[in-house]
Structure 1
Amino acid sequence: MGDSFHDQLIEDSRFLKDDRRLDTELVDKLILQLNRIYPQILTDKEATRFRDLDVPTCVRLGELLTHLQGKGEEACREFYRALHLHVEEVYYSLPTRLRLRDSADPLGYPGVYQQRYVLNDRGPAFFLSCFSIAVGMALLYYYSEAKVSGGSRALGVAALGLGRKAREVLIWYTEESLMK
């Protein structure tokens, strides 16, 4: 492990403070775990202060993290152990855990995730309707070569539902083919 637990906790602190999964009950479990098993890290008086329900949970958690960073490497390591024990899903979603996991197995978890490129979010029905219009226009164009007068009129009528530029092109094409 290249980073110390102290450095990792500094990096993960912002994520932990913002994570809504760490509610009052879970923060209390972490505090009690550290207090009961490691009273040298978190004394009874400190645990009582961090469990004060009059203070918002995010503030108490921020103060706890700052306190643990001040206590040193061992305190930070035991916090990670308690977090892993009580809130595993948060532990595995920490930025340092994700980075360590990615660097440990570069083939299993590529560092650069493939992004999904979405051209539009309208779905398959929109694609099918656009494709149908394109096929219909291609068929009209193909049959308008054989029958200049009938196909050109149909092509002109097809231009009614299109945008201004496309409509101008189709109407121009219809007028040109009628003049021939």
Structure 2
Amino acid sequence: MTETPNPNIVDADTLTGEMRPIRRMVVALGSNLGERFATLQGAVDALADTPDVWVTGVSPVYESDPVDCPPDSQSFLNAVVLADTTLSVHRLIDRAHAIEDAFDRTRGAVKNAPRTLDVDLIVVGDRRSDTDELRLPHPRAHERGFVLKPWLDLEPDAELLDRGPVATLLANVGTEGIKLREDLVLEFE
């Protein structure tokens, strides 16, 4: 992993005085089992309750057709959360998994099986990782309209690290199978 933190933006640890860079992160949420909207709201709340994570924006909710999922999979509700953090990527992926587990996410042998909750780190600052545990930036985000569209709603000038402007990426993949759910609005404090 490489990192070039912004030396002008730091957060002092209140116990040790250690200075840690503040990084912008983009998190994609998805659910296609159970109480999908309540699960997404719970995930937003859990992220907002995470020490050293400050949620700065939550996208509109979209309903999307399942992509690369087993036959007969139900549609997903998707959203994107923007946040600032001083946590390491390893702490963030552990937190993402803990949030999934809290909503009874099961991981099985079937790839992309239906799930109560998916919490994916898309980007964390300019961090790069290519391990079995974590790939940053997310390796398929540039192919996923259900990630790009809500992200673009929050940040019209957003760029996906190593891939380019989100608007251009979305134009390439399109929005077929993705529908805005104006009746569902996620809240954050």
TM-score w.r.t. structure 1 length? 0.29
Higher helix fraction (1 or 2): 1
TM-score w.r.t. structure 2 length? 0.27
Rg larger in 1 or in 2?
1
